[in-house]
Chains A and B, each alone.
Chain A
Amino acid sequence: DTEVTQTPKHLVMGMTNKKSLKCEQHMGHRAMYWYKQKAKKPPELMFVYSYEKLSINESVPSRFSPECPNSSLLNLHLHALQPEDSALYLCASSQDPDPNTEAFFGQGTRLTVV
């Protein structure tokens, strides 16, 4: 199994809603990542979890709250988002928290904030 699975694939939410994005991998990878990608832009790193602990937060606003319940799961909790937060949210994992190893990406969640 070399897949990173993300749910949901599409999400529309209001600015007062609370929702969660989910990511799952069963490759035994010890590093997991959240990226945000705006249209026609490269992915931007948001968070890195290393051995289930948050190791990098790229100054992401607190309305985005990551959680790593176990080594296979990564969540991104969303609350009080703004329309400019609409983007493709990509989850990725890698064997270890070393940027020199290749990352496996999910298909992403296309989020629209209305």
Chain B
Amino acid sequence: AQKVTQAQTEISVVEKEDVTLDCVYETRDTTYYLFWYKQPPSGELVFLIRRNSFDEQNEISGRYSWNFQKSTSSFNFTITASQVVDSAVYFCALSDNFGNEKLTFGTGTRLTIIP
């Protein structure tokens, strides 16, 4: 069965610090996709990134970077030089061929950036 674990329930850091959000997943499939979504207080989930299981290259987008390691089944997300606007709940999610058109979400990490 698919499972996504975000062990960090809440994280608080001071503005401009770097912060890493952890995501560990389980799947029986060899083909799968991993996602990160951001949910600010306004409520909508904002898509951040999608990574397929065959592409282990790390990705950087501005202050955001993602580290995908199949060997440890992890897909961690780092925010560099954090800003107050980064305060949100961040969800890691997984989809695979056994998922039947469903995303499996982790429980989310609430990130608070302290000014």
Bound together, the chains give a CA A98 to CA B50 distance in angstroms of: 13
Out of A40, A50, A105, name the residue touching B45 (CB < 8 Å).
Answer: A105
Instruction: Tell whether, in the assembled complex, residue B46 and residue A103 are in contact, meaning their CB atoms are under 8 Å apart.
Output: no
Task: Report chain B residues within 8 Å CB of A105.
Answer: 37, 44-46
A-B contact count (CB 8 A): 56
Interface residue count on the B side (C-beta < 8 Å): 22
Instruction: Tell whether, in the assembled complex, residue B106 and residue A42 are in contact, meaning their CB atoms are under 8 Å apart.
Output: yes
Q: A56-B100, A100-B52 are in contact. Are A107 and B105 (CB under 8 A)?
A: no
**SS class of chain B's interface: helix, strand, loop or mixed?**
loop
Out of B42, B46, B91, B100, name the residue touching A42 (CB < 8 Å).
Answer: B91
Bound together, the chains give a CA A100 to CA B37 distance in angstroms of: 14
A61 within 8 A of B: no
Q: Which residue of B lies closest to A50 (CB)?
A: B101
Instruction: Tell whether, in the assembled complex, residue A108 and residue B102 are in contact, meaning their CB atoms are under 8 Å apart.
Output: no
A74 within 8 A of B: no
Instruction: Tell whether, in the assembled complex, residue B47 and residue A103 are in contact, meaning their CB atoms are under 8 Å apart.
Output: yes
Instruction: Tell whether, in the assembled complex, residue B105 and residue A56 are in contact, meaning their CB atoms are under 8 Å apart.
Output: no
| A71-114 interface code vs B (CB 8 A; 1 in, 0 out) | 00000000000000000101010000111111111111010000
Out of B46, B52, B91, B103, name the residue touching A99 (CB < 8 Å).
Answer: B103
Task: Report chain B residues within 8 Å CB of A48.
Answer: 101
Which residues of A does B touch, CB under 8 Å?
4, 40-43, 45, 48, 50, 55-56, 88, 90, 92, 97-108, 110
